[in-house]
Amino acid sequence: MQSQHTMRAYDQELKFLATRIGAMGGHAERMVDEAVAALVHSDGSLAAKVIGDDELLDAGQREVDDKAIVIIAKRQPMAADLREIIGAIRISADLERVGDLGKNIAKRVGAIARERQPVSLFRGLQSLAELALTQLKEVLDAYASRSVEKIAFVRDRDDRIDAMYTSLFRELLTYMMEDPRNISACTHLLFCAKNIERIGDHATNIAETVYYIVTGEQMPPERSKEDKSHKVMLDARETAER
Amino acid sequence: MSEQGDDGARPMAWVLGRLIESRWTLAAATVAVAVVAALPEPGWLVPALAIAGVAAVAIAAPRRMVVGRSREADRDGSDPLDGVGSRDLAAAVPDPMILFDAHGVIVHVNPAAVVAFGQLAPGMALHLRFRAPEMHALIEGVLADAATARAIDYVERVPLERVFRVTASAVGREDGLLALVFKDQSEARRIDRMRADFIANASHELRTPLASIAGFVETLRGPAKNDPSAREHFLKIMQDQTGRMARLIDDLLSLSRLEMKPYARTGTPLDVRGIVDAVVDSLGPLAAESGVTVERRMPDNPSWVSGDRDELFQVFENLLENAIKYGQSGGRVEVEIVPSATGARDGVQVRFRDYGPGIAEEHIPRITERFYRVDVESSRSRKGTGLGLAIVKHILTRHGGWLDVHSAVGSGSTFTAHFPPPTSAR
């Protein structure tokens, strides 16, 4: 009787961790979505809300950490349970970072919205954000369903995010060279694009953690970096031809 | 009830009915008469008791019969449902429905929910799949107080925007089972958004040709007033520009219409070979005019894809048209249907290979964006609107598929439309 009761409490504790991760994931997805929406629509109040919401993710991560450490100390978990707990700690750290990156995008809204920017400037960023959000949703769904079949494709998508980022980088450089007045907005947008690209990386990290939780093995290392923005150079003549 | 309808038609049945109706009083009276007759010395007490007994039965009997009838009615009402499983009931609900227990663990999902949300299985925690803060609040709320039903609006942004009115309520009274029902309201929301989007996109994209037409009109009224050759030239440009505006509006409308259609991955299985054949034939004149030969490579067996025929036609038409227009210099375009075999994603691929100038690497990730043009001048001269691939991408996403682009400058491009196997409704 006693052992059954203990087991049930243990299950409850594990379930609590997973539920907190779910809630943090929901907040992180929402923050990224709203930060990009605030950017595109120059919506200062939405940006302020996103900045405030980051507190929820910080609190969530602290809670998951505390709870996980208490469970490890009390229950001495093994095998799948231990992986589950360690995985929760890692995923919550990644989600907290995603929240920080979302907050950073929101913080730049004021600087970018100072002058009315053409819509075309944001289109690339929007589709980059869409890719990253799809990525995040897919890995969190994989965490929910504990299925690793789709996880291999997460890496494919990460490559696409990197390729898109490189392309966006080049586009923004072009705008800056065309007109120096674009430089301040474009520099902020460049950082926003970098943040979104980082969100994709965190989603890939989560995918690796989920793979580890489910299978007990590390995901095979095959990472070809598509991010070639470190090599992008535009030369003035090329721009003049456009 | 139903007997009354038969009254006039069958007098015998009516008499029988009346007799049955008063059977208790009749029986009591018969017993009373028998008792009185059986006793050798009835005296006054026995007949009095017998009459009282008959009276009591007469009073009690109708009430019993009413009770009996209502019970009968009850049984009649529930009879058709005996033998119908709750799973069958859930399956008959066209909206996604999820049943879960008091711990927030999914107990059952109906087929509509599987189509709408994909990987959902009994045993999964609801909190993990529906992570939006308002969904968490809804689930927590109904778990804490199951008596009151609640409803919220829930938006899923990716991969396609969908808006649901979600209702959470308890099923039955004691077993602690709860239900989430999703009512898809994307259409209403999209109509609102479509107006705004259309105006934003159209005004931006129509401004350029309009400005150019206005400029030429001004020139024609002023400096070029008496210059027939210039007039002819300018009118030709103006005609091109108006044609471009018309095409742009067509494409915008077609994209908006697509976005308004409800999200349904299920469709009738179609043989893509037929559709591709029809597309190649319909673009034959354009290919001949551009001096491009189109080669078909079809498998011998049917390649099944589930979806909407018109939408798939549009996908292949846009892809082939691009291949012919932008790969014109290569002189040939290959269309190939490949039954793909990559792990869990078994399905059909349709490839369009051209041997034109190819697309620079930095543009490839971006070409499905609305109004993204690799080369503004060449796109305009080839009558592109900047929406063709956006439409392709949207349709493929609706069909659970995706577009793959491989290209290298100087050696042409391959556009591959991937489709999931037709059973992917799961």
Residue positions counted in chain A: 242
Same domain, B8 and B126: no
Give the residue from chain A lying closest to B370, CA to CA.
A123
Q: Is A124 on the interface with B (CB under 8 A)?
A: yes
Q: Do A18 and B364 touch (CB under 8 A)?
A: no
A141 alpha carbon, distance to own chain's centre? 14
CA neighbours within 13 Å on the CB side: how many for B377?
2
- Chain B window 191-250: which residues touch A at a Cβ cutoff of 8 Å? 200, 204
First to last CA, chain A: 78
Instruction: Check CB contact of B360 with chain A, cutoff 8 Å.
Output: no
Claim to verify: residue B249 and residue B151 sit in the same structural domain: no
- Please check whether residues B92 and B155 belong to one and the same domain: yes
Which of A12, A20, A30, A233 would you mutate first to test chain B, the one with the most B CBs within 10 A?
A30
> Does residue B294 share a domain with residue B424?
yes
**Considering only the top CATH level, what class is A2-241?**
mainly alpha
Structure tokens given for B409: 């400058």
Beta bridge partners of B151: B167
Using CA atoms, how far residue B290 sits from A169, B287, B327, in Å, is: 36, 5, 10
Please tell me whether residues B173 and B25 are part of one structural domain: no
Q: Looking at the complex, does the CB of residue A233 fall below 8 Å from at least one CB of chain B?
A: no
Could you tell me the CA-to-CA distances from B198 to A79, B186, B255, B366 in Å, in that order?
Answer: 55, 17, 10, 21
Q: Is the dihedral of CA B190, B163, A34, A46 positive or negative?
A: positive
| Sign of the C-alpha dihedral computed for residues A123, A125, A131 and A134 taken in this order | negative
Residue of B nearest to A18 (CA): B128
DSSP element (H, E) containing B99? strand B97-100
CB within 8 A of B172, min separation 6: which ones?
Answer: none
Reduce the DSSP state of residue A191 to 3 states and report it: helix
Residue B8: CB atoms within 10 A of its CB come to: 8
* Token pair recorded at residue A98: 């995603």
The one-letter amino acid code at B359 reads: I
Closest approach of A110 to chain B, Cα-based (Å): 22
Chain A within 8 Å of B127 (Cβ-Cβ)? yes
Task: Decide: A87 and A212 in contact? Cβ < 8 Å.
Answer: yes
DSSP, collapsed to helix, strand or coil, labels residue B378 as helix
User: Is residue B407 domain-shared with residue B283, that is, in the same domain?
Assistant: yes
Chain A contact for B370, CB < 8 A? yes
Per-residue pLDDT at B94: 86
Predicted local distance difference test score (pLDDT) of residue B4: 44
**Could you tell me if B416 and B301 lie in one domain?**
yes
Q: Say which CATH number the domain at B393 has.
A: 3.30.565.10
Residue carrying the six token digits 């009274």: B173
> B347 and B298 share a domain?
yes
- Given CB atoms, is A120 within the 8 Å cutoff of chain B? yes
CA B89 to chain CA mean position, Å: 20
**C-beta atoms of A124 and B369 within 8 A:** yes
Residue A25, min C-alpha distance to chain B (Å):
6
pLDDT at res. A2: 40
Looking at residue B143, its pLDDT comes to 85
User: A161-175: string of b/e by CB count within 10 Å (b at 16+)?
Assistant: bbbbbbbbbbbbbeb
- Contact between chains at B127 and A19 (C-beta distance less than 8 A): yes
Q: Which of B157, B197, B371 to mutate to test the interface with A (most CBs of A within 10 A)?
A: B157
Residue B126: CATH number of its domain = 3.30.450.20
Contact: A18, B204; criterion CB under 8 Å: no
- Give residue B3's Cα distance to chain centre: 47
ipTM rounded to 2 decimals: 0.81
Whether residue B422 sits in one domain with residue B297:
yes
Chain-centre distance of CA B10, in angstroms?
54
Q: Are A220 and A152 in contact (CB under 8 A)?
A: no
Tell me the pairing of strands B304-307 and B268-271: antiparallel
Say what the pTM is.
0.71
Say which DSSP state B419 is in.
E
State the best of B127, B131, B406 to mutate against chain A, taking most chain A CBs within 10 Å.
B131
In chain B, the N- to C-terminal Cα span, in Å, equals: 47
CA distance to partner chain A, nearest, from residue B365 (Å): 5
CB atoms within 10 A of CB B39: 12
Query: Which 16-75 residues of chain A touch chain B by CB within 8 A?
Result: 18-19, 21-23, 25-27, 29-30, 33
Q: Look at residues B224, B278, B270 and name the one whose alpha carbon lies nearest to residue B399.
A: B270
Whether chain A has a CB inside 8 Å of the CB on B364: the answer is yes
B341 near A CB under 8 A: no
Chain B: nearest CA to A178, how far in angstroms?
A: 16
Please enumerate in sequence order all residues whose Cβ is within 8 A of that of B138, keeping only pairs 6 or more positions apart, or say none.
Answer: B150, B152, B166, B168
Q: Compute the C-alpha angle B52/B53/B57, nearest 5°.
A: 115
Task: Determine contact: A226 vs chain B, CB below 8 A.
Answer: no
Q: ω into residue B159 within 30 of 0, thus cis?
A: yes
| A65 phi and psi angles, rounded to 5 deg | -60, -50
Distance from the Cα of B366 to chain A's closest Cα (Å) equals: 7
The list of chain B residues with pLDDT below 70 reads: 1-11, 13, 42, 61-79, 173-175, 193-198, 200-201, 204, 260-267, 340-346, 376-377, 379-380, 423-426
The pLDDT assigned to B66 comes to 47
> CA–CA distance from A9 to each of A2, A5, B136, B208, B222 (Å)?
11, 6, 22, 67, 88
Angle between helices B388-398 and B228-260 (to 10 degrees): 10
Q: Are residues B44 and B116 in the same domain?
A: no
User: Is B104 at the interface with chain A, CB within 8 A?
Assistant: yes
One domain, residues B309 and B419: yes
Question: Which residues in chain A show pLDDT less than 70?
Answer: 1-7, 116, 222-229, 231, 233-242
Whether residues B315 and B331 fall in one domain: yes
Find chain B residues with C-beta within 8 A of A166's C-beta. 362, 365
Rounded CA-CA distance B332/B323 in Å is: 9
Which segments within A90-235 are labelled E, that is strand? none
Interchain CB distance below 8 Å, A123 and B371: yes
Nearest in space to B425 (alpha carbons), one of B314, B336, B304: B304
Q: How many CA atoms lie within 13 A of B131 on its CB side?
A: 27
- From the list B104, B133, B361, the residue facing A27 with the nearest CB is B133
Distance CA B161, CA B353 (A): 32
Cross-chain CB nearest to B157 (options A120, A133, A140): A133
Residues of A in Cβ contact (< 8 Å) with B130: 26
Strand partners, B418: B349, B402
Taking the Cβ of residue B136 and every Cβ of chain A, the question of whether any pair is shorter than 8 Å is answered with yes
Number of domains in chain B: 4
Beta strands in B260-411 (DSSP E): 268-271, 293-297, 304-307, 332-340, 347-354, 402-408
Give B123-184 as a DSSP string. Answer: T-BHHHH--SHHHHHHHHHHHH-TTS-EEEEEEE-SSS-EEEEEEEEEESSSS-EEEEEEEE
Q: Which residue has the tokens 């006693």?
A: A2
Whether B357 and B410 have beta carbons less than 8 Å apart is answered as yes
Interchain CB contact of A211 with B (< 8 Å): no
* Domain end point (choices B151, B184, B217): B184
- CB-count exposure of residue B143 (10 Å: 0-12, 13-18, 19+): middle
What is the span of the domain harbouring residue B44? 2-81
Q: In this predicted model, what pLDDT tens digit does every residue of B74-113 receive, in sequence order?
A: 555 556 777 777 788 888 888 899 988 888 888 888 888 8
Helix A79-112, helix A2-40: angle, nearest 10: 20
Whole-number pLDDT of residue A223: 56
